[in-house]
Chains A and B, each alone.
Chain A
């Protein structure tokens, strides 16, 4: 006589399944875990244990695997981007920020604690060249042809450009205190200076400083909106996210997000998902209204990966 209860349970479950609209993977840097969050119900469904300190991710060029770097654990985890199933673990020295060159030749891995920029072969994951970096290589971006990678040096207030064809440093230039996010935009290099309140604009060919835009104290990360029209700058001290016009770089709107907004992802419904480092939550912002809801995740959430096709099953 358990069937009526079963039926009831099924009917309760069905609508939730029908609404399923993807899942989000969050790197809890101080909890040694990854949170899987269901986008429809906005609830954490499960946690995947990792070794030590997961921070950032990148996607294999063919989309086969999502790579998550565990810095203190010295390994990269290869996950299925849809089910988040762990497929492979690869020992790699201090993987903080990582990214594939657009020409699919190399994987560049910044070791922020070990002051090294490592270039790996994107197919075999063997180390091609290690560039000692003074100091604390943090974020990175590439030229569209994959010929050059730009890396911020958080410890010394500089940016360095590395030629991946000749495997040599092209230039290293000052930008501002504790630079973090870096992005090549309309032929200019934008660098968020976390120890200051601004984003500097550099000439990507020479590293020459061309100007600065004030965004807020603790300018940390830069993100491009899916339509390419906006650049979001997250400011850690002011706890704000500022939307800049991608062409003019003029500030269009400021969102106040208490709790330390760090990384972000754009959902197909227009909402923006932020990791909140201090609050140990995600914030889901409606950029049209400026209102947001929060979701509990693990300690010090850093990287965030959103996939509308992913399934947040147990």
Chain B
């Protein structure tokens, strides 16, 4: 599997990316461009694998069936933008520049950025264990990013895009406001700097984790059993986070990969129900609007929150009536 994907990335670089960089007078970036090629190829495979596994699951044991599934289409667009095309490129450029600037600043002040492997040298020959440790730390930091996005009004206004979907499927994982995504990258970069995360060293394992995140949004009656539910996050577990009663500032099950942080900080809900999803307090445009409408309405709501013009009140009213 890995050699095939790497070859595909190499092919993309040689036949598409390099001639493009050459034509655009950007050849100085040739070394960095391979990372993007890898990102795009593995992203595409991610989408295909997710599709091949989750679609049959959703057909086999759906939680809900909808006569009209148009609201799902925009999530497909979110997924493609986020995993294959534009976003990997932006992330890559942004991440690279930010990391170099911060790394450089720190090293100039006599502080070499640490890495897990430098602290624990035995990890160097153990890529899977190393990756697992990085994944645990990252998942922990992501738990808090997600939880905080439910604490601050302005932040939840952006995150409401993710929650507004009433027809939640495996496509819904990437349904995020662009600004929310950018905050996520900055958050990730800060943690990456602290523990020296190698972004593209383990592309296949990253693919696996992203697959789990997509699966957790699938519209399917799938639970991992008593023990499994406490090891990895299942569709049932994450559905509780998307429940109509859990939307907004007071939610449950904030985790993405491991449920441990929810268990540790007492936000876990292991009840066996498959709840209805959506955010009744959100404007209708956030649920059924176009990509552009969702982006715009959420941004407007955030601005109103920051400048104190009624965002919170509007939402409360919507709950009452």
Residues 83-122 (chain B) with a chain A CB within 8 angstroms:
96, 100, 103-104, 107-108, 112-113, 115, 117-118
The contact string, 1 if C-beta is below 8 Å from chain B, for chain A 145-164, is: 00000000011000000000
Number of interface residues of B (CB under 8 A): 37
B127 and A93 contact, CB distance less than 8 A: no
Q: Which of A52, A94, A112, A278 makes the CB contact (< 8 A) with B10? A: A278
- Residues of A contacting B7 with CB < 8 Å? 279-280
B6–A280 CB distance below 8 A: yes
Which chain B positions have C-beta within 8 A of A113?
Answer: 96, 100, 103-104
- A114-B104 in contact given A91-B112, A259-B14, A300-B34 (Cβ < 8 Å): yes
Interface pair A194/B30, CB less than 8 Å apart: yes
* Residues A236 and B198 in contact in the complex (CB < 8 Å), given A74-B103, A93-B107, A218-B27: no
What string of 1s and 0s marks CB contacts (under 8 Å) between B235-256 and chain A? Answer: 0000000000000000000000
Q: Is B13 an interface residue (CB 8 A)?
A: yes
A105 within 8 A of B: no
Tell me if B152 is interfacial: C-beta within 8 Å of chain A: no
- The winner among A29, A236, A259, A300 for most chain B CB atoms within 10 A is A300
Q: List, in ascending order, chain A residues with CB within 8 A of B104's CB.
A: 93-94, 111, 113-114, 116
How many Å from the CB of B245 to the closest CB on chain A?
Answer: 45
A177 to B28, CA, bound (A): 8
- Closest approach, in angstroms, between the C-beta of A278 and any C-beta of chain B? 4
Q: Chain B residues near A93 (CB, 8 Å)?
A: 104, 107-108, 112
Other-chain residue from B6, B14, B30, B198 in contact with A299 (beta carbon distance below 8 A): B6
Tell me the complex Cα distance, A236–B124, Å.
Answer: 32
Q: Is the CB of B28 within 8 A of A155?
A: yes
Residue B125 interfacial (CB < 8 Å): yes
Distance between Cα atoms of A94 and B113 in the complex (Å): 11
Contact between B28 and A178, CB atoms less than 8 A apart: yes
> Within residues 1 to 20 of chain B, which ones have a CB less than 8 A from any CB in chain A?
3, 6-7, 10-11, 13-14, 18-19
Q: Is B35 an interface residue (CB 8 A)?
A: yes
A195 part of interface (Cβ distance < 8 Å): yes
Q: Which residues of A sit under 8 angstroms from B18, Cβ to Cβ?
A: 218, 236-237, 260, 278
Q: Which residue of B lies closest to A130 (CB)?
A: B108
A278 touches B11 (CB 8 A): yes
Residue of B nearest to A91 (CB): B112
Contacts of A50 in B (CB 8 A): 124
Given A32-B198, A113-B100, A236-B30, A195 contacting B11 (CB threshold 8 A): no
| CA gap between A217 and B14 in the complex, in Å | 13
From A138, which residue of chain B is reached at the shortest CB distance?
B28
Question: B27 touches which one: A74, A116, A194 (CB < 8 A)?
Answer: A194
| Residue numbers in B under 8 Å from A52 (CB-CB) | 115, 196, 198, 201
A20 close to chain B: CB less than 8 A: no
B22 at the A interface (CB under 8 A): yes
Q: Contacts A32-B201, A280-B7 hold; do A136 and B35 have CB atoms under 8 A apart?
A: no
A49 x B200 contact (CB < 8 A): no
CB distance from B96 to the nearest CB of A (A): 8
Q: Is the CB of B14 within 8 A of A278?
A: yes
- In the assembled complex, the Cα of A154 lies from the Cα of B26 at a distance in Å of 10
Q: Output the nearest chain A residue to B12 by Cβ-Cβ distance.
A: A278
* CB nearest to A49 among chain B residues: B124
Q: Is the CB of B201 within 8 A of A136?
A: no
Chain B contacts for A259, CB-based, 8 A: 10, 14
Contact of A260 with B22 in the complex, beta carbons under 8 Å:
no
By a CB distance below 8 angstroms, the chain A residues around B10 are 259-260, 277-280
Name the residue of chain A whose CB is nearest to the CB of B201.
A32
**B68 lies within 8 A of chain A by Cβ:** no
Residues of A within 8 A of B115 (CB): 51-52, 73
Q: Specify which chain B residues have a CB less than 8 angstroms from the CB of A49 in the assembled complex.
A: 124-125, 127
- B107→A30 contact, CB < 8 A: no
Q: Give the distance in Å from the alpha carbon of A270 to the alpha carbon of B13 in the complex.
A: 31
The answer to whether the Cβ of B215 comes within 8 Å of any Cβ in the partner chain is no
Residues in chain B within 8 A of chain A (CB atoms): 3, 6-7, 10-11, 13-14, 18-19, 22, 25-28, 30-31, 34-35, 38, 96, 100, 103-104, 107-108, 112-113, 115, 117-118, 124-125, 127, 196, 198, 200-201
Q: List 30 A-B contacts (CB under 8 A).
A: A29-B34, A30-B34, A30-B200, A32-B198, A49-B127, A52-B196, A52-B198, A73-B196, A74-B112, A75-B112, A94-B103, A112-B31, A113-B96, A155-B28, A177-B25, A194-B30, A195-B26, A236-B18, A237-B22, A259-B10, A259-B14, A260-B10, A260-B18, A277-B13, A277-B34, A278-B18, A280-B6, A280-B7, A296-B3, A299-B6
Q: A93-B108, A195-B28, A260-B10 are in contact. List 19 more A-B contacts (CB 8 A).
A: A51-B115, A51-B196, A52-B196, A73-B115, A73-B196, A74-B103, A178-B25, A195-B27, A236-B30, A237-B18, A259-B14, A277-B10, A277-B13, A277-B34, A278-B10, A279-B7, A280-B3, A280-B6, A296-B3
**6 closest residue pairs by CB, A with B:** A178-B27, A195-B27, A278-B10, A278-B14, A93-B107, A114-B104
